Amino acid sequence: MPRGLLLESFYIGSHKYWADNVVKMSKHDITLLTLPGRHWKWRMYGSALYFAKEVAALSSQFDFILCTDMMDVAVFKALVPHRIPILLYFHENQLTYPWSATDPDVQKGRDHHYGFMNITSAIAADSILFNSHYHLSSFFKAASQLLHAMPDHKPLAELETAQKKAAVLPIGIHLPPTILKRTAKIPRIVWNHRWEYDKNPELFFDALMKLDKEDIAFELILLGERTSKYPRIFDEATKVLDSKIVHAGYVETKDEYYQLLQSAHLAPTTSIQDFFGISVVEAMANGCTPLLPERLAYPEHLSVETFPQLFYKTDKEFYAKLKTCTLNYNRLPQVDHSIQSYAWPDIIIKLDEKISSLLS
């Protein structure tokens, strides 16, 4: 049986979820090496050095390596003495990820460096997977634009070669065996995203506070990980909407998380960036009806043509459709069938096939 290493330099959230399930479910014998999910810029700079040292110290021989986008693959390959095929999985990238307006690297012009590291990683890897078609296409478009800005000796041929070895494989999800029947007598809305700026909580809470001012009944569940610098709109909104909130905060177990999702009717999403959107897919899998921006990766999860009432293009349209969905919560369409192909048993087979082709 082929033996592999999975190097995860940002072991938290969707990165941790993906890595744990790959190791657990793959037919290959995979050993997981990790670094804590914090200080993302330093992880991109230093994780290749750390993992190269760790791999050199291992007594066992490995046939392949899986890694994710927070590691500089080019530096890692230069430091590892043995030639081992590398499959790179992109959860996100730093070329098209929206930077925080408060990040000093933007003002100092250092924000392109991390994206360039993603480009050299893609060129250095033997095979590449992206979690959505949107992610793949937007990455290579942005990478081409950056390389065209170089004054000369532009590595465009190398980028084209990298794109030819890239494919799409969604993140797997665990489909519930059954979905509980909703018992709430008024519409229940859920937020199950990280408490961060790129999820655009201002639009979400502004709309909910407007519903509240119009005396439209609803209940609210607030889930998701809270960072130390979470947007303060959460504090304001939880005070204003206190009487509506049936749960607020991160839950430790997946069972409790799924139970809360299955008690909700509607899962509006206001994110300005999602390369895949696992929280959206998990909500759909557990019977929540989404309300989605008509952009990013979301149209890959649900057909815009079939469910136009569940997509919006503007902030104004978001509120109008949120109000309609809330008032008609008992007639919301069930859409869990649209993401059945993301089930882990199917996804892991495709990943194992990709690994096998890497070794052939």
Model confidence pLDDT, tens digit, residues 58-92: 878 899 999 999 999 999 999 997 889 999 999 99
| Residue 184 pLDDT grade (very low, low, confident, very high; cuts 50, 70, 90) | confident
Determine contact, residues 289/180, Cβ cutoff 8 Å.
no
Domains 3-172+344-359 and 188-341 share a fold: yes
CATH code that applies to domain 3-172+344-359? 3.40.50.2000
Model confidence pLDDT, tens digit, residues 194-213: 999 999 999 999 999 999 99
How high is the pLDDT of residue 178?
A: 84
How high is the pLDDT of residue 97?
A: 63
Q: Across the strands, what pairs with 4?
A: 30, 64
Q: How crowded is residue 186: how many other Cβ atoms within 10 Å of its Cβ?
A: 12
Lowest mean per-residue pLDDT among 94-103, 161-170, 345-354: 94-103
pTM of the predicted structure, to 2 decimals: 0.93
Q: How far is CA 199 from the centre of its chain?
A: 11
Q: Where are the domains of the chain?
A: 3-172+344-359, 188-341
Asked whether residue 107 carries a pLDDT value surpassing 70, the answer given is no
SS (H, E, C) 296-315: CCHHHHCCCCCCHHHEECCH
Tokens of 47: 């994780």
**pLDDT, the chain, mean:** 93
Please state, for a pLDDT cut of 90, what percent of the chain lies above it: 84
How high is the pLDDT of residue 183?
A: 79
Which of the listed CATH numbers 3.40.50.2000, 3.60.20.10, 3.40.50.300, 3.30.30.10 matches domain 188-341? 3.40.50.2000
